[in-house]
Amino acid sequence: MKNLTSNNVSNMLTETSKLIIMNHPKATYSVSSTNDNMLQFARMIVKVNGLTRNEHFGDLLDYRVAFEKSITKKHRVKFTYKMGEDLAVKYRKKRVPQLTQVKSGLLDILIGELNTTYINMNGIA
């Protein structure tokens, strides 16, 4: 997938989040609310869609900015971007809908996955 449009990202997040919620009815922003299955879904999205850091990282960051603006406008959640900011708590206090919470968590994991470098240590003795 060469270009990630806002619609592509939104559809991808919405459909995957619905699957996550179907499998984990109490899922929230937090990966732990899904027994780490959210991480597995994110890795599957990266692999199936051929997402790469060079081609798609910036697109996901741009979408994240627009998504946060939307959340702030609709639900009055203020993002502080400080270490230890607990979005799960903020979302719960502001009664952000479950689908939005899961989409937000999944998006953050996707961004993290594309920003992580994996080194294959197999064969090194």
pLDDT tens-digit profile of 28-46? Answer: 999 999 999 999 999 999 9
Model-level pTM?
Answer: 0.89
Residue 27 is which amino acid? A
With bands split at pLDDT 50, 70 and 90, how would you rate the model's confidence at 2?
A: low
Region 77-101 average pLDDT: 92
**Mean pLDDT for the chain overall:** 91
* Burial zone of 53 (CB within 10 Å; 0-12 exposed, 13-18 middle, 19+ buried): middle
Question: In 10 A of CB 31, how many CB atoms?
Answer: 20
Q: According to the model, what pLDDT value does residue 81 have?
A: 85
pLDDT tens-digit profile of 42-66? Answer: 999 999 999 999 999 999 999 999 9
Answer whether 92's CB lies under 8 Å from 39's CB.
Answer: no
